[in-house]
């Protein structure tokens, strides 16, 4: 699918917070009986200084699919593809609502993470300033040359570690941005601590899309053939291509599911249950809802670990500072007594 040049170069960057707000408003309007075109027109009038909804409305007037028109909002490809699936197979209202909730939670969790990091970062900065002050003003007056060298080594070590972590994160983010969405997701689910949260999120997206497609009567071949309707390099596009290629080469469906790291084991169990199309669709949707809730739980648990870990690091820094500077000073004062 070709992405119109105007969607990339003429639309200003939309913050995730605003993206979430727009999707949630659209979901409420459509749930209250508005068509998607009418809902976009309402937002166009409410956001009269925002040219984005003018562009979206014009695309819809020309008969473009909702997923194509919504590219003006610069949504993540995986969410854009969900909108495409939902419009073709039903469930657009629910998809708009959950996509909005995902982006809203992401924005809130980012703000919460920054809040959690602010206080420990201030304490770390204060400790470094204190160490530098001790080295410059206190140690020379007490003639503690050995301790001055230890302070130098300690300050250099702390600064080097922080700089290495920061540069490492920058390099990691840069490499992620160079990857396709599918390649990026494979890397993210393997990360320590946060990997399981990413895995449950991607599984939620995949199961929800499959549930909508199966519920509309599509068989596996039709689903795998829908690659062209997805953005190239996206998760759904890569999975459709991999399964289509694997089955054309005579590979078993269940073995393909087992080898795919983004797919949960529950998918194999649902397909082997022997239910009819409606039952399988309901099971997939229900499992996607459980994965959505699991994602939220895992993210909250990760956020709750941030401050204790940072305060543990700070406690170690304080202890080392005490051993390097205060104990020799105390010993010197004791000797003078």
- Same domain for 122 and 52, yes or no, is no
Instruction: Please state the separation of Cα 23 from the chain's center in Å.
Output: 17
pTM above 0.85, yes or no: no
Contact, 207 vs 262, CB < 8 A?
A: no
- Residue 145 banded pLDDT, cuts 50, 70, 90: low
From CA 337, how far away is CA 334, in angstroms rounded?
5
Q: Of 18, 49, 75, which closes a domain?
A: 75
The verdict on residue 325 lying in a domain is yes
Does 331 map to a domain? Answer: yes
CB-hemisphere CA count at 13 Å for 337?
6
Asked if 191 and 312 sit in the same domain, the reply is yes
pLDDT value of position 170: 93
Question: How far, in Å, CA of 35 to CA of 83, rounded?
Answer: 15
Together in a domain, 233 and 318: yes
User: Do 204 and 291 belong to one domain?
Assistant: yes
Instruction: State what percent of residues in the chain have pLDDT above 70.
Output: 85
Could you tell me if 118 and 251 lie in one domain? yes
Indicate whether 71 and 132 sit together in one domain.
no
CA distance 57 to 263: 36
232, part of any domain: yes
Q: Shortest CA distance to 236 belongs to which of 88, 95, 84?
A: 84
How many domains does the chain contain in total? Answer: 2
| Whether 170 and 44 share a structural domain | no
CB atoms within 10 A of CB 124: 16
3-state SS, residue 89 = helix
Residues 13 and 139 in one domain: no
Q: With a cut of 60, say whether residue 234 has pLDDT above it.
A: yes
pLDDT higher than 70, residue 48: no
Query: Strand locations in the chain, DSSP E?
Result: none
Single out the residue in 55, 75, 95 at which a domain terminates: 75
List the structure tokens of 170: 């920058």
- The reply to whether 284 and 172 lie within a common domain is yes
Q: What is the pLDDT of residue 174?
A: 92
The answer as to whether 83 is a domain residue is: no
Mean pLDDT over 7-19 rounds to: 64
The residue segments making up the domain with residue 291 are 109-337
Q: Residue 317: pLDDT above 90?
A: no
Same domain, 330 and 182: yes
Last residue of a domain, one of 57, 75, 93: 75
Residues 284 and 207: beta-carbon distance below 8 Å: yes
The answer to whether residue 90 is domain-embedded is no
Same domain, 202 and 301: yes
Structure tokens that stand for 112 in this block: 């919460």
Evaluate whether residue 104 is within a structural domain: no
Evaluate whether 247 touches 224 at the Cβ level (below 8 Å): yes
Q: Locate tokens 């199966």: which residue?
A: 214
Residue 101 lies in a domain: no
Higher pLDDT, 201 or 228: 201
Would you place residue 6 in the very low, low, confident or very high pLDDT band (cuts 50, 70, 90)? Answer: very low
Name every residue whose Cβ is closer than 8 Å to that of residue 200 and which is 6 or more positions away in sequence. 291, 294, 295, 298
Residues 236, 78 contacting (CB under 8 angstroms): yes
- What pLDDT shows up at residue 9? 40
Q: Please indicate, yes or no, if residue 240 is contained in any of the structural domains.
A: yes
Indicate whether 162 and 225 sit together in one domain.
yes
CA dist 304 → 107, 112, 156, 188 (Å): 17, 10, 30, 20
Most confident of 70-74, 76-80, 177-181: 177-181
The mean predicted confidence, pLDDT, of the chain is: 79
User: Where does the pLDDT of residue 168 fall: very low under 50, low under 70, confident under 90, or very high at 90 and above?
Assistant: very high
Statement: residue 322 has pLDDT above 90: no
How many angstroms separate the CA atoms of 191 and 185, rounded?
10
CA 40 to CA 56: how far, in whole Å?
7
pLDDT at residue 171 in the model: 94
Query: For residues 49 and 275, which has the higher predicted lDDT (pLDDT)?
Result: 275
Query: Mean pLDDT across the stretch 38-43?
Result: 85
């Amino acid at each position: 699918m070709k992405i119109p040049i105007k969607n990339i170069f003429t639309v200003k960057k939309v913050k995730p917070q605003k993206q979430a707000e727009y999707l949630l408003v659209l979901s409420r309007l459509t749930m209250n009986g508005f068509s998607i075109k009418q809902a976009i027109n309402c937002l166009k009038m409410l956001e009269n200084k925002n040219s984005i909804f003018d562009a979206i409305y014009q695309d819809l007037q020309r008969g473009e699919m909702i997923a194509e028109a919504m590219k003006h909002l610069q949504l993540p490809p995986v969410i854009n593809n969900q909108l495409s699936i939902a419009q073709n197979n039903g469930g657009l209202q629910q998809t708009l609502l959950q996509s909005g909730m995902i982006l809203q939670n992401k924005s809130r969790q980012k703000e919460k993470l920054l809040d959690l990091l602010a206080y420990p970062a201030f304490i770390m900065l204060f400790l470094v300033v204190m160490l530098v002050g001790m080295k410059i003003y206190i140690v020379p007056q007490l003639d503690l040359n050995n301790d001055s060298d230890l302070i130098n080594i300690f300050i250099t070590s702390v600064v080097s570690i922080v700089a290495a972590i920061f540069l490492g994160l920058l390099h990691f983010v840069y490499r992620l941005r160079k990857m396709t969405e599918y390649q990026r997701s494979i890397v993210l689910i393997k990360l320590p601590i946060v990997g399981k949260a990413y895995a449950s999120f991607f599984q939620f997206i995949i199961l929800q899309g499959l549930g909508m497609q199966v519920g509309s009567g599509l068989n596996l071949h039709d689903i795998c053939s829908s690659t062209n309707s997805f953005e190239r390099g996206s998760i759904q596009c890569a999975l459709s291509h991999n399964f289509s290629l694997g089955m054309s080469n005579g590979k078993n469906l269940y073995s393909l599911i087992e080898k795919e790291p983004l797919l949960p084991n529950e998918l194999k169990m649902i397909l082997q249950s022997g239910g009819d199309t409606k039952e399988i669709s309901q099971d997939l949707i229900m499992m996607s809802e459980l994965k959505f809730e699991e994602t939220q739980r895992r993210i909250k648990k990760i956020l709750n670990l941030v401050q204790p870990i940072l305060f543990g690091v700070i406690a170690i820094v304080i202890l080392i500072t005490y051993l390097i500077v205060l104990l020799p000073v105390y010993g010197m004062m004791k000797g003078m007594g």
